[in-house]
Amino acid sequence: MNVYLCEKPSQAKDLAAVLGIGNRKDGFFTDGGQNVVTWAFGHLLEQFMPDDYDPALKAWKIESLPIIPGTWKSKVKKSGAKQYKVIQQLINKASVVYIATDYDREGETIARDLLERFRFAGAIKRVPLTSLDEISIQEALRNTLDDYQTRPLFHAGQARTRADWLVGMNFSRLFTVIAGQAGIRETFHIGRVITPLVGLVVARDKSIDNFVPEPYYELTAGIQVQRGSFKAKWQPPEEVCDSEGRCINKAFAEQVLNDVRGQRGVIAKAETKDHKSSAPLPFSLSNLQLYASKKWGYTAQEVLDTAQSLYETHKATTYPRTDSDYLPESQRGDVRQIFQAMILSDDSISGLVAGADPDRKARAFNDKKVQAHHAIIPTRTKCDISRMSDKERNLYDIIRRRYIAQFYAPYEYQQTDVVVVCREQTFLTSGRVPTAQGWKVLFDDRDDEEDGEKENQQLLPPLNTGEPAQVDIADLADKMTRPAPHFTEATLLAAMKNVARFVDEPKFKKILKETAGLGTEATRAGIIEGALTKGYIKREKRVIKATDKGRAVISLVPHIISSPGMTAAWEQELEKIASGEQQLSVFIRQLEGWLSKLVIQIKQRSAELISSEAGNQLKSLAPVTFPCFTCGGPMKRIKGKNGFFWGCQNRACDKTFKDSRGKPVDPAIVAKPPRNAPDCPQCGTTMMKRQGKPKDGKKADAFWGCTRYPECKGTKPVATRKRTKTKEYS
């Protein structure tokens, strides 16, 4: 029997439809013969927790660290237990299993984790799905891969899972216990990727806090020539400049101002050249997230979810979790089909498609730049854009425009660079004049302008080298240096993608590629959201800043843990495992050795950490608290589903109390009977006014109940005042 194993039900439904398998059973599709399509719900297995290996590890104790499993084990998630059994029964009957999960590291791991657990010994094939439209699925089924070709992807997935477990379980316990010794009952989640991310934000915030503005001076001259005028900027000599080329000598700048104002000079250079600019490449996920964040303010997670919906629900675009901006050469033949599908989906795009040349040799087609997945582009299947949300339409529109742009002529312009010399001082300017719009007709905004293009929009008069020039006006501006701005979602994503430029350790700088990143295209959005949820960073409008908790955790952990260099180096190792260049066992053995050594060092320094500046920062996190009304232990204000409440932090007590305006409510005070309370008719104890339970949607009356309830169940009705009817006069 052939079993096709998908990642989720919707994927299985699409695949089954193409295979002509329409008989749906409980947990799978079947043709009644030898072909079955089934599905997981993402990862159906999860790693053992420490106490699954050893019940004694349930308590978080520093003495039990480091925790390193001798044999890695997993268990079935409760939420997926039923589907797990369905898959197990089908795999046990299978002779061939076709892995049809998402074609990436995690998708491979989802399927092969199950096959290893079931000890499947039959043939394994890989369906390389990149789109879920009918044509793409048919093509993937015709081009299945052999077992050995994608097994390294699984090993990389295992390496990622185990690395995350080792770092998370050991360091989260270690630093949470250390914080507890400082009196902070707070869980500190330490992660292989999340902690360096927080470190980036903390470092940026600190650089802003510690920044000392320095004055500098800019001189702008208004230049008059025979056929017009223009503005040019003074280029100060190196001896009066800082490292950024800014003049920091005010007296010198003022002298130049006085020297050149109203004086004659010369056009030392006026050079005009023709330039061409190719269309921006199609989108990778991170570049789509950057674009959407800048243009619409979408979060990284919103873009990922929306792109996933375009791929999975609408079949409008290809697989979104890609890190490539390029397309395989084999897809040159799909261009006309994609154009036709776009027009059938939305006739309003036909004019722009008509201007494209499908035979143009676009630079986007480059096999050397494509690995498992190509850039995000429209599919060859008609989609219903009327069913799309505003976000979906926005992303779909820019994805299709980027694709069409590959088949347009370049944007062409003339740029003139000018050098003016007056009284031995140099002034520079440049201007740009479009000569052919090319691909730019596809875009209404200026989001795709090249760096510096906005600064080169000055219209220059006709100029010749050697012609005279007059400095008519000159203005000296006093300016102050500014710190780097706080991260936004877009700039934080860009930093995560190219983290090598934030690494200062020589040993990591040497081995890191320029494109080394924190996390992957598929995980970066979730990492940012995780840091927000755990209270390490916060959004303030469109800016991201570190919280006090984030600053405290970065001050507490060693730099090697919060360094983006270490994590990016690990990510490169995972890529090597995925390509077969590195062995899973070697990577994990090296990681275990490094982790064991570091945990022991930190344990030995725990008392020192508590008394250090890091310990003081920790203590500043201590919340306002009150003694428990039952045991006297500390209480913590907690936000629950129905609002705030107070919980005792003594695990032996574990009592909870109501919240009133930020303070716990003492039940003894609440339970104090009013002065006019009657005595219980059964036992003579003072009674309390209570509210009856609603019945049939109607509010129940109040009544008197014995304060000894439930030992005594005496009750008494509450006397009500009779209303006196007002006499009416006619």
- Quick one: tokens of 128? 């390389």
Write the CB contacts of 146 (distance below 8 Å, at least 6 apart in sequence): 125, 126
To 5 degrees, how large is the angle CA 480–CA 485–CA 487? 175
Instruction: For residues 474 and 497, give the distance between their C-alpha atoms in angstroms, rounded to a whole number.
Output: 43
- Quick one: tokens of 620? 């500043």
How far apart, in Å, are the Cα atoms of 400 and each of 288, 407, 414, 612, 728? 12, 12, 29, 55, 78
Instruction: For residues 400 and 377, give the distance between their C-alpha atoms in angstroms, rounded to a whole number.
Output: 7
In a 3-state reduction of DSSP, which class is residue 409?
coil
Instruction: For residues 453 and 287, give the distance between their C-alpha atoms in angstroms, rounded to a whole number.
Output: 20
Q: Are 186 and 179 in contact (CB under 8 A)?
A: yes
In degrees rounded to 5, what are phi and psi of residue 264? -85, 145
- Quick one: tokens of 187? 């869980």
- Quick one: tokens of 684? 């003579």
- Quick one: tokens of 437? 């719009």
Write the CB contacts of 626 (distance below 8 Å, at least 6 apart in sequence): 634, 635, 646, 663, 664
In degrees rounded to 5, what are phi and psi of residue 434? -65, 140
Q: Which of 343, 466, 359 has its CA nearest to residue 409?
A: 359
Instruction: For residues 38 and 33, give the distance between their C-alpha atoms in angstroms, rounded to a whole number.
Output: 14
Instruction: For residues 170 and 67, give the distance between their C-alpha atoms in angstroms, rounded to a whole number.
Output: 6
Q: Are 462 and 527 in contact (CB under 8 A)?
A: no
The DSSP letter of residue 458 is P
Query: Which residues are bridge partners to 247 per DSSP?
Result: 217, 241
Q: Are 432 and 449 in contact (CB under 8 A)?
A: no
Write the CB contacts of 214 (distance below 8 Å, at least 6 apart in sequence): 242, 248, 480, 481
To 5 degrees, how large is the angle CA 643–CA 649–CA 654? 80
The DSSP letter of residue 387 is G
Q: How many CB atoms lie within 10 A of CB 163?
A: 22
Exposure string of 589-603, with b = 16+ CB inside 10 Å and e = fewer, is eebbeebeebbeebe
The DSSP letter of residue 612 is S
Q: Are 11 and 39 in contact (CB under 8 A)?
A: yes
Write the CB contacts of 409 (distance below 8 Å, at least 6 apart in sequence): 357, 360, 436, 438, 439
Query: Which residues are bridge partners to 659 per DSSP?
Result: 664
Preceding omega of 710 cis (within 30 degrees of 0): yes
Q: What is the separation, in whole angstroms, between the first and last Cα of the chain?
A: 94
Active site residues: 319
Residue ranges with strand state E in 116-187: 123-126, 145-146
Instruction: For residues 251 and 245, give the distance between their C-alpha atoms in angstroms, rounded to a whole number.
Output: 17
